[in-house]
Amino acid sequence: DADVTQTPRNRITKTGKRIMLECSQTKGHDRMYWYRQDPGLGLRLIYYSFDVKDINKGEISDGYSVSRQAQAKFSLSLESAIPNQTALYFCATSEMGALTETQYFGPGTRLLVL
């Protein structure tokens, strides 16, 4: 969905490097999320944010940090990448106050840590 974009789409890095994954959305949604997807494990929540001043840890936040620079931008950082952080990363958004919690996903970033 072009309303939610992620950069880069693919990234190869080395152990110990710091990297940042970026997410932008034009849907005007307040809520943004970062997920990690591993084969056989579905999607797991890393961090989520309800607005610019609100950041919350998800179920697997260790080794990650986030920054909500604006309503439309939410970035995920790996301060010191390790091989078991190799995964597919997705950003998602949802509308606060909506009757449902439908989340809309970006195309994903494939990260390989060597």
Partner 1 sequence: GESVGLHLPTLSVQEGDNSIINCAYSNSASDYFIWYKQESGKGPQFIIDIRSNMDKRQGQRVTVLLNKTVKHLSLQIAATQPGDSAVYFCAENISGSNTGKLIFGQGTTLQVKP
| CB-nearer residue toward partner 1: 17 or 42 | 42
The burial of 9, by beta-carbon neighbours within 10 Å (0-12 exposed, 13-18 middle, 19 or more buried), is given as: exposed
What is the nearest approach in angstroms of partner 1 to the Cβ of residue 63?
A: 20
The least CB distance from residue 14 to partner 1, in Å, is 24
Choose between 48 and 74: whose C-beta lies nearer to partner 1. Answer: 48
The DSSP bridge pattern shows strands 10-13 and 4-7 to be unpaired
Q: How far is the CB of 109 from partner 1 (least distance, A)?
A: 10
Write b or e for each residue in 60-74: b if 16 or more Cβ atoms lie within 10 A of its Cβ, otherwise e: ebeebebebeebbeb
Sites of contact with partner 1 (CB under 8 A):
1, 4, 31, 33, 40-45, 48, 50, 56, 58, 90, 92, 94, 96, 100-108
